[in-house]
Amino acid sequence: MDKLVERVLSIYQNRDLITVYHGEQEGPDDFDTVLLKALVRASKQRVSSEASPYTEELKLAVTWNRVDIAKSELFNGDIHWRYQDLQDSMTDALVNDKPQFVRLFTENGLNILDYLTYGRLESLYRSVADSSLAYALLQRRLGERQGMTGSQAILLDVSPAKGSGGSPGGLRPANKFSLFEVSRVLEDLMGDVCQPFYHAPLELENITSQRKALKRVSKLLRGNCVYRDKRCLFPWASLFVWAVLQNRNDMAVFFWEMAGESVLSALSGCKILRELSKLESQTETKLAMKELAQRFENLAHDVFSKCYQSSESRSFTLLIRKSPVWGGTTCLKMGMAADARLFFSHDGVQSLLSQIWWGDMKRSTEVWKLLLTFFCPVLMYTQLISFRELEEPGKPDEVAQGRDNDSLYGETIFSFSDIKHIEHHTQGPNSPRYPLKGRPNTPPKRPFVVSRWRQFWFAPVTSFLGNVLMYFLFLLLFAYVLLVDFKPPPPRGPAIAECVLYFWVFTIVCEEIRETFLMGSMTWHQRMRKYVQDVWNKCVLTAVILFIIGLTCRMFQWSYEFGRAGPVCGLHGLHPSSHPHLRHSQTTGAKDHHRRQMMVRLTEATK
């Protein structure tokens, strides 16, 4: 009894800390609020030698997800929070998907540059839920690495180094994930639209062979893994990718707001989510991914609309500028890879593509003039076709006036030559330039005959017209050879026209090989896998095989008739392959599909 009396007296001496809770009046949902506020008031009365006496209360607020209490009681300006006091709670908020606390911490003293090291980023990926698609993709890549190295022991000590903020690894497979698995998964999802992620800290910049990369990473993970203590180069973008891979809606949107490169980041998130939705088996999760992907496409469209309204010229530079954050890709490349139809339907994007489509020729050029000049090139040196002329440099007043009068299809829109020049001067991430008309950084002038020739023949519309004409010429030659001039076996055949046809098919095959194996940054295995996934490419392979069989059989008398039938069957595959830009495009049709493809390829010319 005496002990109880003493306890009651001690409580009475601190009666200002007593809170009376009426369960029937206030309800059970308010009990955690009353309890947490009482703990905070008690902490303010407590004398402690710790760096902050409120750390445990903050952790409790994060656990209960009571950001309102944290704002009113812990982040009201009375408490000075240090980085060390917030980092553990920040990790808890990230892992348990509490974006409001993440925002609160970043607004109250947590420096993301100090927080996110490569080691802590690895620990975040190890916290991915076992039932998620991201975990399955990471686990598959981890299994491939384990199988290639032939040793499970190599991967047992891949937890973040001391001081990097990660939790120690255990027997759970997720604890073994490293940045290499993350990089491989992102490479699978993004394809060759951008350079691989995290190759710099893993020391894989100059390694293209997967076997060599696995050996280098295995050796690196057996060592001290110094890279884990280094700061993440682009922390917000890395967290954005981490949230997108887990389909965390609010968290991903917050990181998108903080990451910068708003248009490109939104398109990148759209690309990742749409690729994930193709792999997701659960219907509800698949729909959620598609909805979030559409949300990011809408954000990209809206942000670009604001940029376009603010400055037409700079918005065009935004579309073609290579981003160091996203592996040197551009908004146009990422938008096309993500199949961002809404984004491509924007007036600003269409305006840029239209000017690129016509090159240095004015968009008002009539088609009959273009056709006439195509067959009679001398006319390009006359006034039949009007070309856009660059203004003389050194007239800033006129430039400013022209920029103020920009309209939807103003004269400040770049031609392809302007874009190539921009690409040449925007390699550095910290020194972007905007070569508007009248700027002195124009390319050196060429002789009139050479420059006019390049202006006409290098225009994508001229290239498209030439491809269309060659396509129909190929069909005419094909029909003529098979129906009229298909000679008997040697020595009487084949005829000259037939040899020309076979050589033409050979050039088509060479072009397919060039586009498949000699362009892009993917490995040979990835290129082959991507190539055979396209139904048109399967038609091309079938047609080529039939042509080879037909060419072989037509050389012998006993198989002469089959030698005629083989190329006829192969024609069905060569119809689309001989002119791929006439294939059906669900987005904008054959012409716009060609325009988009050519735009992306031409802007890569200065890599």
Mean of the pLDDT values across residues 565-588?
56
CA–CA separation, 551 vs 248, rounded Å? Answer: 57
Whether 192 and 291 map to the same domain: the answer is no
Whether 445 and 525 map to the same domain: the answer is no
CA–CA separation, 58 vs 66, rounded Å? Answer: 10
| Domain boundaries, position 57 | 2-80
Higher pLDDT pick, 356 / 245: 245
* pLDDT band, very low/low/confident/very high, at 470 (cuts 50, 70, 90): confident
* pLDDT band, very low/low/confident/very high, at 546 (cuts 50, 70, 90): confident
The structure tokens 């016509």 sit at 358
* pLDDT band, very low/low/confident/very high, at 53 (cuts 50, 70, 90): low
Whether 413 and 366 map to the same domain: the answer is yes
Whether 587 and 465 map to the same domain: the answer is yes
Scored b (16 or more CB within 10 A) or e, 559-572 reads: beeebbebbeebbe
* pLDDT band, very low/low/confident/very high, at 47 (cuts 50, 70, 90): very low
What pLDDT is stored for residue 309 in this prediction?
94
- Tell me if 352 is assigned to some domain: no
Which has the minimum average pLDDT: 3-17, 51-65, 360-374, 446-460?
A: 3-17
H helical segments located in 518-559: 524-533, 535-553
Mark which of 320, 345, 370 sits at the end of a domain.
345
- Tell me if 106 is assigned to some domain: no
The structure tokens 């088609």 sit at 367
Sequence-distant (6+) residues with CB within 8 A of 152 are 146
H helical segments located in 405-495: 416-425, 448-457, 460-483
The DSSP bridge partners found for residue 172 are none
What pLDDT is stored for residue 115 in this prediction?
94
- Tell me if 585 is assigned to some domain: yes
- Tell me if 319 is assigned to some domain: yes
What pLDDT is stored for residue 345 in this prediction?
92
Whether 415 and 433 map to the same domain: the answer is yes
Whether 185 and 241 map to the same domain: the answer is no
The structure tokens 């059989």 sit at 553
Mark which of 173, 194, 229 sits at the end of a domain.
229
Whether 432 and 473 map to the same domain: the answer is no
- Tell me if 252 is assigned to some domain: yes
Whether 224 and 244 map to the same domain: the answer is no
The structure tokens 């670009």 sit at 304
Eight-class DSSP state of 393: S
pLDDT at 103 over 90: yes
- Tell me if 112 is assigned to some domain: no
Whether 468 and 570 map to the same domain: the answer is yes
Domain count, the chain: 5
For the chain, the farthest-separated pair of C-alpha atoms sits apart, in whole angstroms, at: 124
* pLDDT band, very low/low/confident/very high, at 45 (cuts 50, 70, 90): low
pLDDT per position as a tens digit, 505-515: 888 888 888 87
- Is 195 within 8 Å of 204 (Cβ atoms)? no
Mark which of 208, 229, 250 sits at the end of a domain.
229
Whether 446 and 506 map to the same domain: the answer is no
Mean of the pLDDT values across residues 275-287?
94
pLDDT mean across residues, the chain = 77
- pTM, two decimals, is 0.75
Whether 548 and 595 map to the same domain: the answer is yes
Higher pLDDT pick, 151 / 534: 534
- Tell me if 574 is assigned to some domain: yes
CA–CA separation, 261 vs 386, rounded Å? Answer: 37
What pLDDT is stored for residue 542 in this prediction?
82
Which has the minimum average pLDDT: 128-137, 319-328, 418-427?
A: 418-427
Whether 481 and 588 map to the same domain: the answer is yes
User: What counts of helices (H) and strands (E) characterise the chain?
Assistant: 30, 0
- Tell me if 89 is assigned to some domain: no
